[in-house]
């Protein structure tokens, strides 16, 4: 069985031409020469990813062997493939790449040198390599020349698998081999598979082997050097709320929490740009310039101006850019252990308080729940909110049982008793969606600022069902907003809605109960009458 260095040599020896560690300018030029994309009037490279414009979770596999058999959380998230099937498929991909132009990139993940993971990325196209250059951390020329191949990523969109005969579902696949340290991507040109492949790897090796909590979150640092972490699913305001002019951004998506530091895994950002405007997201808008990569967008007719409202290809339009394209970043992308942790939810049921303080057991419970709510489509007059739960706010990328990450969070909170954990509801108040109103961004910012500045240390009221602590007052926020029941004209309707949401939490938790401690279970909401 070939080592990764030997695999890389085999790829090099049979390539048509090798383009290694090209600059941003060179990669953009190569992409244009090869007709992989075009330049927008903002200067960014626009490229299409082909048939697949998003991740394909049903086509993600992990090699089940002696290392992973008893550690991985097998199921829909982590589907097994046998080593023999993987090795055969890898050999076929390597053969497929013979005679083709190959782009190679030296990179690494993990800004903290103690937890750095070296990566070499092999792609068929220039735009994929540009993505890897932006999203991963970039070694110096000297580091790149001396770098050994620890993890190897091979992305071959033009290779089509044979489905079941190859041990996969259809033509496209992403397979992670933890033992051989290889991520193999075929049949899909969607660049997010490259990024999320490494995130999944870090989610395995850091908690399992390095005693580091891996997190799907954003993080920033205040003027006093205090670190804050923001967890939240799509639509909860994670990107917006972590972008604070008074605080430096560590990173916007993936971090590790070691004994001493919070550190970014990445060297860039991969932001959604559907309905993007300069007013709504100035940081993202200003980052779409020369060198950035926009994916699956369309132009206004007869122009090179991107129509960000056009979703004819996909709603999942994206832009990739290096973190240096953002003003006010932390250099390097490392902070101290956090002082404040925020769980963001957009509760469309209108039940949860706009801000509440969590005990360590509640923090573990809400972490493992990863709750938000989406507003249903209104085609048939349906306005009922839909609860969404994603364990640890990133279930799709967890190789280990979610309780493992929740227990690690609990241990961190025990070791760092001064850390405050807050639950922030950026959703509805005064009633559910369709009745109440969306929480004003200015109020949410005021509550987060008060928490960061240590100004929420007054009196709290315990929520009768969820048990979380609601502050009785907060500077620049009307007091009646802080206790959600007070904002509903029909108090009995609130009580009923509260019971409904509590049951949804309890029902969702059932699938994690077997692997969870009694401490976590004790924090579940209580289905009891509200007085």
pLDDT of residue 232: 95
- Domain 337-521 top-level CATH class: alpha beta
Q: Which of 30, 55, 248, 339 is catalytic?
A: 55
pLDDT digit string, tens, across residues 229-273: 999 998 898 988 998 999 999 999 999 999 999 999 999 999 999
Question: Going by C-beta distance under 8 Å and a sequence separation of 6 or more, which residues neighbour residue 515?
Answer: 401, 402, 403, 404
pLDDT of residue 48: 98
343 touches 466 (CB < 8 A):
no
Q: Which of 40, 174, 188, 239 is catalytic?
A: 239
User: Taking the CA of residue 490 as centre, how many other CA atoms within 13 Å lie in the half-sphere pointing to its CB?
Assistant: 11
Cis omega (within 30 of 0) for bond into 222: no
Is the pTM higher than 0.85? The answer reads yes
- Assess whether 298 carries a catalytic annotation: no
pLDDT of residue 194: 97
- Which alpha helices (H) appear in 114-253, and where do they start and end? 126-135, 141-146, 192-209, 238-242
- Assess whether 253 carries a catalytic annotation: yes
Q: Which of 106, 180, 238, 412 is catalytic?
A: 238
| 126-135 vs 192-209: helix crossing angle, rounded to 10 | 40
pLDDT beneath 70, residues of the chain: 376-383, 528-531
Q: Which of 30, 60, 105, 216 is catalytic?
A: 216
Question: Going by C-beta distance under 8 Å and a sequence separation of 6 or more, which residues neighbour residue 494?
Answer: 350, 351, 484, 485, 488, 530
pLDDT of residue 530: 44
Pick the CATH number of 4-36+59-212 from 2.40.50.150, 3.40.50.970, 3.90.1520.10, 3.40.449.10: 3.40.449.10
Question: Quick one: three-class SS letters along 145-164?
Answer: HHCCCCEEEEEECCCCCCHH
- Assess whether 318 carries a catalytic annotation: yes
- Assess whether 55 carries a catalytic annotation: yes
Q: Which of 166, 253, 347, 495 is catalytic?
A: 253
- Assess whether 234 carries a catalytic annotation: yes
Domain regions of the chain by residue span = 4-36+59-212, 337-521
- Assess whether 238 carries a catalytic annotation: yes
Q: Which of 60, 106, 180, 318 is catalytic?
A: 318
* Residue 108 β-bridge partners: 118, 137
Q: How far is CA 396 from the centre of its chain?
A: 9
Query: What does the angle CA 27 – CA 268 – CA 266 come to, to the nearest 5 degrees?
Result: 115
pLDDT of residue 1: 87
242 touches 326 (CB < 8 A):
no
- Please name the residue that has the structure tokens 């929420």: 456
Q: Which of 134, 196, 357, 366 is catalytic?
A: 196
User: How far apart (Å, rounded) are the C-alpha atoms in residues 233 and 387?
Assistant: 12
Per DSSP, which regions of 225-300 are E strands? Answer: 227-232, 248-251, 254-257, 261-264, 268-272, 293-295
User: How far apart (Å, rounded) are the C-alpha atoms in residues 187 and 166?
Assistant: 13
């Amino acid at each position: 069985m070939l080592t990764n260095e030997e695999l890389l040599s085999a790829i090099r020896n049979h390539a048509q031409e090798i383009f290694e560690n090209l600059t941003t300018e060179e990669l953009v030029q190569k992409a244009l020469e090869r007709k992989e994309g075009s330049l927008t009037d903002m200067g960014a490279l626009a490229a299409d990813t082909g048939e697949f414009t998003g991740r394909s979770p049903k086509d993600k596999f992990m090699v089940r062997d002696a290392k992973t058999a008893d550690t991985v959380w097998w199921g829909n998230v982590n589907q097994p493939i046998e080593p023999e099937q993987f090795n055969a498929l890898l050999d076929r991909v390597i053969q497929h790449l013979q005679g083709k132009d190959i782009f190679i990139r030296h990179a690494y993940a993990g800004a903290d040198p103690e937890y750095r993971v070296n990566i070499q990325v092999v792609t068929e196209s220039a735009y994929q390599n540009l993505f890897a250059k932006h999203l991963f951390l970039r070694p110096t020329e000297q580091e790149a020349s001396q770098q050994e191949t620890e993890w190897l990523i091979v992305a071959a969109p033009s290779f089509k698998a044979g489905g079941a005969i190859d041990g996969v579902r259809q033509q496209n696949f992403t397979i992670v081999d933890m033992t051989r340290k290889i991520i193999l991507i075929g049949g899909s040109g969607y660049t997010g598979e490259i990024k999320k492949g490494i995130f999944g790897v870090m989610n395995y090796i850091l908690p399992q082997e390095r005693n580091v909590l891996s997190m799907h979150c954003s993080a920033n640092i205040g003027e006093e050097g205090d670190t804050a972490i923001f967890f939240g699913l799509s639509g909860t305001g994670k990107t917006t709320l972590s972008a604070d002019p008074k605080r430096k951004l560590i990173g916007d998506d993936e971090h590790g929490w070691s004994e001493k530091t919070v550190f970014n895994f990445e060297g860039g950002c991969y932001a959604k740009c559907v309905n993007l405007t300069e007013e709504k997201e100035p940081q993202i808008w200003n980052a779409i310039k020369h060198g950035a990569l926009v994916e699956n967008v369309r132009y206004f007719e007869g122009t090179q101006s991107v129509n960000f409202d056009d979703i004819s290809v996909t709603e999942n339009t994206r832009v990739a850019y290096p973190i240096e394209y953002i003003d006010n970043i932390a250099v390097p992308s490392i902070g101290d252990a956090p002082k404040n942790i925020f769980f963001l939810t957009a509760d469309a049921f209108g039940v949860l308080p706009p801000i509440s303080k969590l005990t360590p057991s509640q923090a573990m419970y809400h972490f493992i729940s990863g709750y938000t709510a989406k507003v249903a489509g209104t085609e048939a007059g349906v306005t009922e909110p839909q609860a969404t739960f994603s364990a640890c706010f990133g279930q799709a990328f967890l190789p280990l049982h979610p309780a493992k990450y929740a227990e690690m969070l609990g241990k961190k909170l025990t070791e760092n008793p001064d850390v405050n954990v807050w639950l922030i509801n950026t959703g509805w108040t005064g009633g559910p969606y369709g009745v109440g109103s969306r929480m004003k961004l200015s109020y949410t910012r005021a509550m987060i600022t008060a928490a960061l500045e240590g100004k929420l240390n007054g009196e709290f009221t315990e929520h009768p069902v969820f048990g979380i602590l609601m502050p009785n007052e907060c500077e620049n926020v009307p007091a009646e907003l802080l206790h959600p029941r007070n904002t509903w004209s029909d108090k009995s309707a609130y009580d009923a809605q509260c019971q409904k949401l509590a049951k949804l939490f309890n029902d969702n938790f059932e699938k994690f109960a077997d692997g969870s401690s009694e401490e976590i279970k004790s924090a579940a909401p209580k289905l009891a009458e509200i007085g």
